Chains A and B, each alone.
Chain A
Amino acid sequence: DSGVTQTPKHLITATGQRVTLRCSPRSGDLSVYWYQQSLDQGLQFLIQYYNGEERAKGNILERFSAQQFPDLHSELNLSSLELGDSALYFCASTSVQGNTEAFFGQGTRLTVV
């Protein structure tokens, strides 16, 4: 158990819909990262938040957005969903200071039909 919690584990939705994925980081970790893994590919960095503020942005579509709340949990919002958005979405957390390795949650498998 990495200490990072993601909900839901599985999500099936139709094209055009909007979904919200949730992540609770490890206790004490201020930084949250979102990654997307499509069909046995590598993990693509989407976005990072640190203590409530956006810190870095990767290959995140404009239809996607994220935020980190005062209690440090984070949500990834995916809208106007397309078939190609079907993927595993992982959240990871790190304290940023000192510890470099990020701890990953179990992921949310999104299927768009």
Chain B
Amino acid sequence: DQQVKQNSPSLSVQEGRISILNCDYTNSMFDYFLWYKKYPAEGPTFLISISSIKDKNEDGRFTVFLNKSAKHLSLHIVPSQPGDSAVYFCAARGNAGNMLTFGGGTRLMVKP
């Protein structure tokens, strides 16, 4: 039972364009959502988060949007840079112990 799903395993965009990564969840008890970025041979690195009481959070080139009614969140990267090429995981909190439930990840490739 996957409570957090990233339906696109990969995404390719041109440098300078917008990258949109999507994530869907099923558990309405989740109250906090996060995006992590992962390079090969490294651990995931926290990128940006959003509380369930908000619908948007922006940090530089990164913006996360939350649509609670649709149980959907997205990460926008504008403009995309080659260094953004990595695997992006969305995660949600709401279970006991602050445990994070992760999606399967989306591999983003930004072409120069």
Cβ of B99 within 8 Å of any chain A Cβ, yes or no, is: yes
Contact B102 A43 (CB under 8 A): yes
User: Measured between C-beta atoms, what is the minimum distance from B59 to chain A in Å?
Assistant: 12
Q: Which residues of B contact A106 (CB under 8 A)?
A: 41-43
Contact A56 B97 (CB under 8 A): yes
CB-based contact B98/A4 at 8 Å? no
Q: Are A101 and B96 in contact (CB under 8 A)?
A: no
- Which DSSP category, helix, strand, loop or mixed, fits chain B's interface? mixed
Encoded as 1 (CB less than 8 Å from any A CB) or 0, chain B from 64 to 81 comes to 000000000000000000
- Label chain A's interface by main secondary structure: strand
Complex interface: chain B residues within 8 A of A43 (CB): 44, 89, 102
Report if B62 contacts A (CB, 8 A).
no
Q: Which residue of A lies closest to B32 (CB)?
A: A100
Inside 8 A of B98's CB, which chain A residues have their CB?
Answer: 31, 48, 94, 96, 100, 102
The tally of residues in B whose CB lies under 8 Å from a CB in A reads: 24
Closest A residue by C-beta to B95: A56
Q: Top 8 A-B pairs ranked by shortest CB distance?
A: A104-B43, A42-B104, A55-B97, A56-B97, A101-B46, A43-B102, A48-B97, A104-B44
Residues of A within 8 A of B (CB): 2, 4, 6, 31, 33, 35, 40-45, 48, 50, 55-56, 58, 90, 92, 94, 96, 100-107
16 pairs, A vs B, C-beta closer than 8 Å: A33-B99, A43-B44, A44-B102, A45-B101, A45-B102, A48-B97, A56-B95, A56-B97, A58-B99, A90-B44, A92-B100, A96-B97, A96-B98, A100-B49, A102-B98, A107-B42
